Every structure is written in C-alpha cells, then in structure tokens.
Amino acid sequence: MSSILEVTGLNKSYGDFSLSDVSFTLEEDCITGFIGINGAGKTTTIRTILGLVTRASGTIKFFGKDMNKYEQELKDRIGIVLDDGGFYDELSMAEMTSIISPAYSRWSEQDYKTFMERFSLNPRQKIATLSKGMRMKYSLTLALSHQADLLIMDEPTSGLDPLIRSQLMEILKDYMKQGGKGVFFSTHITSDLDKVADMLILINNGRILFEEEKDILIDTHRLVKGDIKDLTDETRNLFLNIQETEFGFSGITNQLSKVQKNLHDILIERATIEDIMLGYIEKETKNNVITSR
C-alpha cells in the first residue's frame, strides 16, 4: 500500500498557538478522520499542508512528491473543501464554476453536472443566496469534478443536518470504490466517522495525540463503570479519564485486563470514538496541569 500524503515535523506558530512537530501519513484506500476539539489545530494543519499559510518547518509530500517543488501538479490531483469556500458571493454557481474549472487539467463537465443534479443545485442561483448546506454541496461538487486522487475537507459536516451528513458519507464511500484514492477530513462530530473512517488522527493543542486504525481503537478501549469506593491511586492510573458522581464512576481504559484483575463488580462496555477522544484529551489536560505546577 502506498502513501498518499506524508507530513513530517510540521511546525507553525500563531501568537500563542502553535503546531508542534505534527507528523502523520495517509495511506491509499483509506478514509482518515482528523479529530479534535475546536481550536485544537485542525484547520491550521489543513491550511498548512495545502500551502495556504506558510510553515516554519516540516516537509509535505503528496503521492511521494514534495509539495514545495510540485505544488501546481499536486493541487491538480487534490479536491479541496474548505470551511469558507472562497467563492464570490455576487456570482452565480455557473459563473463561479467557469472561473474555477479551467484551473484543473482533468475537469469533467459530466461529473460536474451529475453532482449538481444529485444535490439539486440550480447553476443559475447566486452564491450569496445559498444556505450553508447548499454551499457545502457546491464546494463538494467542485472537489469531485476533476478526478482528484485525494479529497481534503475541513469540517464538511459542521452545521449540516443528519440527512445531508449521511448522504455525504455515502458519497465518500462511493468515491473510495474507485480504488487508489484517499479522503482526509476534519471534524469534531465524531459520529460521522463511526461508519466510514478507516484511520483516525487526534490532534490537541497543536500536537498529534494518536494516529490509529479506527477498528483497533474501538477494540482496545473500553468504557468501565463501577463503585467509587473501589478506586485507588493505583487503579485510577489504569484509566485515561474518570468521571465521578455519588452513585459511581465511569472511565475509559486501554488496559482492560489490568482493570479486570484489580476491580470487581464493574460494567464493561464498548466505547465510542467520542468517548476515546475525550479520554485522551482529558488525560493530556490533566498531565499538563501536573507538569506546570
């Protein structure tokens, strides 16, 4: 399996926010979810790898080629959906498309028409009058109409209703069926990823906390519930995070066998991606508080 995107040692500072040594790899045939809370660095990372903002250090390779040297050629092969879209409000979609389409060497008018119809978009409608969902659909139409090998999307699902979100997930799966493609999208709505993601990358405070196969994450983590009285300093350490009420605790662990050995009378359930994500973020936050003391 070859890699579609390799990011190594990315650094970038903005005032008091910085990306620190961000490295990850996207492999062919995988849908990768880029998760994290607001302000974690998702958008900055995406903008940096696309060369929309300058970086302090780091290398970015798409399809094995350096982004610095082959930017033009590489961008031709990437479909991009960004939060703001970067469209001219006063134009109609047809007019906007006629500005954008010549930039792509493999533009397909056929694909464009198919998606416009599928999304029930009227080409003559002005961009200023599009709803948020329609804007995203238009943006996605453009990204899907030039036979891109990789789709990079920044929060494509935020602000969309569940029906459109599930349609989008189906479209991504269809796209992957061609083989040899890749999808990378950021989201803080992790339920979108339950059905479609192959890989997950978690970013927090500008740092990558994990890069792992989704199914393995789900297999190796558990949500444990039990009596607070059974918790000791030692057993607490087996958890990423623990929530306590007077009726009991619940926590996420990646050391299930040790938990089972040391705690009895517990309930063990599968954790969702969201549970696991919050577990790692809370653990990180707690560690930071301790080290800064």
Binding region for another protein (CB under 8 A): 29-30, 173, 176-177, 179, 195, 197-199, 213-216, 218-219, 269-270
Residue 187 CB neighbour total at 10 angstroms: 21
Closer Cβ to another protein, 113 or 173, answer by number:
173
Please, what is the minimum distance in Å from the beta carbon of residue 95 to another protein?
Answer: 38
State how far the alpha carbon of 127 is from the alpha carbons of 96, 130, 145, 153, in Å: 9, 5, 18, 20
Closer Cβ to another protein, 116 or 183, answer by number:
183
Please, what is the minimum distance in Å from the beta carbon of residue 262 to another protein?
Answer: 17
Please, what is the minimum distance in Å from the beta carbon of residue 198 to another protein?
Answer: 4
Distance in angstroms (rounded) separating the CA atoms of residues 156 and 148:
17
Please, what is the minimum distance in Å from the beta carbon of residue 197 to another protein?
Answer: 7
Cβ atoms 248, 228 nearer than 8 A:
yes
State how far the alpha carbon of 129 is from the alpha carbons of 92, 120, 157, 158, in Å: 9, 15, 19, 19
Closer Cβ to another protein, 41 or 251, answer by number:
251
For the chain, percent helix, then strand, then coil, each to nearest 5? 40, 30, 30
Closer Cβ to another protein, 30 or 127, answer by number:
30
